[in-house]
Chains A and B, each alone.
Chain A
Amino acid sequence: QVQLHESGPGLLKPSQTLSLTCAVSGGSINTGSYYWTWIRQPAGKGLEWIGRVHTSGNTNYNPSLKSRVTISVERSKNQFSLKLTSVTAADTAVYYCARAPLGGGVMVIGFDYWGQGTLVTVSS
């Protein structure tokens, strides 16, 4: 059974850099058959896709965050990570990592496995 688990600081001050890690267990991150993704959700609000990485290193980011986001994969540790710079209160949210299976190099079903989410609060 594949499991994803987010970890990282839960409290940041404005202007700091958010750094989260998603550890993948029960399967290898190196198969090349998935996009590894970050999604966030402010309290009481909807879901926002942040971006994704493939084990090839190829990435796509949400244009609304692109200038501040970096997603990378750490193959040897079977995990991937998110960095979001210059955070503000608007970045306060539950952050999820998720897996998107690929077929022929494109997403075929959406996100089939999710982490439990980690709350990140930005406050001075």
Chain B
Amino acid sequence: ETVMTQSPATLSVSPGERATLSCRASQSVSSRLAWYQQKPGQAPRLLIYGASTRATDTAARFSGSGSGTEFTLTLSSLQSEDFAVYYCQQYNDWPLTFGGGTKVEIK
């Protein structure tokens, strides 16, 4: 099983600032990685796939990078609606696995 580890668990950021979230895979997943945003009481929403491709309706301030075992999600200028929990997920092999999540909170 590919274990996905996200850091930090919580990130305190002021609106307008930049946030950088990390995701590490225990073995290579190539670029078969997705990022999701989840707000309280809602289902996760696909933000990024293929490690760096924005999904439909994903704002340009969200960017993804990396390949292999190290990945990053960057939020260039946080808006109020961006405060949420973010999950990475690999779809390279079975079982599909998610990271534990990073909560981005208002500083």
Closest to B92 in A: A107
Provide the residues of chain B in CB contact with A90, threshold 8 Å: none
A60 touches B91 (CB 8 A): no
How far, in angstroms, from A115 to B42 measured CA to CA in the complex? Answer: 9
Q: Across the interface, do A47 and B91 meet the contact criterion of CB distance under 8 Å?
A: no
* A60 close to B32 (CB less than 8 A): no
Distance, CA A107 to CA B89, complexed state (A): 12
* CB <8 Å contact, A110 and B91: yes
Say yes or no: A63-B55 contact (C-beta < 8 A), given A107-B32, A114-B43.
no
**Measuring CB to CB, which residues of chain A are less than 8 angstroms from any residue of chain B?**
46-49, 52, 60-64, 96, 98, 100, 107-112, 114-117
Interface residues, chain B, with chain A CB atoms under 8 Å away: 1, 32, 34, 36, 42-46, 49-50, 53, 55, 87, 89, 91, 94-101
The answer to whether B99 and A109 have CB atoms under 8 Å apart is no
Q: What CA separation (Å) do A46 and B42 show in the bound complex?
A: 13
Q: Give the top 5 A-B pairs by smallest Cβ distance, nearest first.
A: A110-B34, A109-B49, A114-B43, A107-B91, A49-B96
Task: Give the chain A neighbours of B101 by CB distance below 8 A.
Answer: 46-47
A52 to B91, CA, bound (A): 12
CB pair B98 A111 closer than 8 Å: no
Cα–Cα, bound, A110→B96 (Å): 10
In the bound assembly, the distance between CA atoms of A96 and B36 in angstroms comes to 14
- Closest beta carbon of chain B to A68's beta carbon, Å: 14
Could you tell me if B34 and A48 are in contact, using CB atoms closer than 8 angstroms?
no
